[in-house]
Chains A and B, each alone.
Chain A
């Protein structure tokens, strides 16, 4: 059988026992004075993902490792982590693709920590509600469905998988807890584009705020980190464009649309 200290971890790949990697895993339990890193060594196959490796660590080396995952194909947004200092969905990040013998795994930044790799997502979810858009949405139509009146095309902002990677990557969220942040602002723009019963003007005015669309300083790290191509930075800039337009309109005596 497998040596517990050096498990021959194999996935469906035929290349077992695979290559050795050192996983530096962030550890923290409620009541700990400070988090620390714990190192696990693991052999992985060509197709092993970071999530595969972490579940292997949990199953074979340390059952106290707390991690969170669900779908294994980057659609649930649950296993978003910081892997070697970049935000990534652990389930679709292959270990060998990281091209490093040491894999550092941390929970996403700028969120409250629950334990080890798990953060409290309540604050993140509340950001969506803060713009007046219900966090839980009705199922969207199929891609070939006709667009509603006034909507030119379906954009991809609906693709947000609520993983929180954008908040982890954003330098402003890192420094200012009051900033609404990329995910909710992208959702705001989405609601402006396709209101579905919401009042787009109210959302435009609400996010036309020092801590709304104007707090972004165009680092574009959110759009780089986003695993679902939502492009929150692009959405924020489009929000601003519309907000500036509305401001000019009202300055020139016109009514807000």
Chain B
């Protein structure tokens, strides 16, 4: 529990409970499930899946950002370096990763709308329906995008 919250709370200030808690739980450490449990699919419900999807796609987009910057730095090495990269980028294998990227952006961005609304206390009781609706919308956009990407390829 947050130390700040304990310190500031009336109970914490008076030392009624926090000291006792400390004493009682020091011996046996909590069976905390840890960050690894985020990847555990067992017992997970829709909101939990949305939570996991948001974290995975968020990390993916962060990694992509750095890859993107690395690729852009090729421009500094002149036109031939860039053109060489573009020819690789148009291979079907590479285009597949474009589709993966778009999946990540759509999932994260659209769920981000849901998380933002819910975070402001809006449509909280419709969060599941909102997730399903946004993901259906995302799937449609993803299919259209994938078709267009491979048309170009």
Q: How many residues of A contact B (CB 8 A)?
A: 55
Chain A residues with Cβ below 8 Å from B87 are none
Q: Are B24 and A218 in contact (CB under 8 A)?
A: no
Tell whether, in the assembled complex, residue B9 and residue A177 are in contact, meaning their CB atoms are under 8 Å apart.
no
Tell me the nearest residue of chain B to A224, going by C-beta.
B45
Q: Which residues of B contact A132 (CB under 8 A)?
A: 9-11
Instruction: Establish whether residues A109 and B28, one from each chain, have CB atoms under 8 Å apart when the complex forms.
Output: no
Q: Given the known inter-chain contacts A206-B8, A240-B120, please indicate yes or no for A217 contacting B51, CB distance below 8 A.
A: yes
Asked if B47 and A120 sit within 8 Å, CB to CB, the answer is no
- Establish whether residues B28 and A114, one from each chain, have CB atoms under 8 Å apart when the complex forms: yes
Which secondary structure dominates chain A's binding surface? mixed
The 0/1 profile, CB within 8 Å of A marked 1, for residues 128-142 of chain B is: 100000000000000
Whether the pair B11, A241 counts as a contact (CB closer than 8 A) is: no
Q: Is the CB of B33 within 8 A of A110?
A: yes
Q: A174-B37, A180-B1, A211-B4 are in contact. Are A120 and B28 (CB under 8 A)?
A: yes
Which of chain B's residues has its CB closest to A134's CB? B11
Residues of B within 8 A of A210 (CB): 2
Cβ of A27 < 8 Å from any Cβ of B? no
Q: Mark A157-184, 1 if CB is under 8 A from B, else 0.
A: 0000000000001010111011111000
Q: Which residues of chain B (7-34) have a CB below 8 Å from chain A?
A: 8-12, 16-18, 20-21, 24-25, 27-34
0/1 string, B25-67, CB within 8 A of A gives 1: 1011111111101101011111110110010000000000000
Q: Tell me if B5 counts as interface (CB < 8 A to partner A).
A: yes
**A86 pairs with B43, CB closer than 8 A:** yes
Q: List 9 A-B contacts (CB under 8 A).
A: A86-B43, A123-B24, A127-B1, A130-B9, A132-B10, A132-B11, A174-B38, A206-B8, A242-B121
Given contacts A120-B24, A177-B1, 12 further A-B contacts (CB under 8 A): A110-B30, A112-B27, A112-B31, A113-B28, A123-B25, A130-B6, A132-B10, A169-B43, A171-B48, A218-B47, A218-B127, A224-B45
Spell out B's residues near A (CB within 8 Å): 1-6, 8-12, 16-18, 20-21, 24-25, 27-35, 37-38, 40, 42-48, 50-51, 54, 115, 118-122, 124-125, 127-128
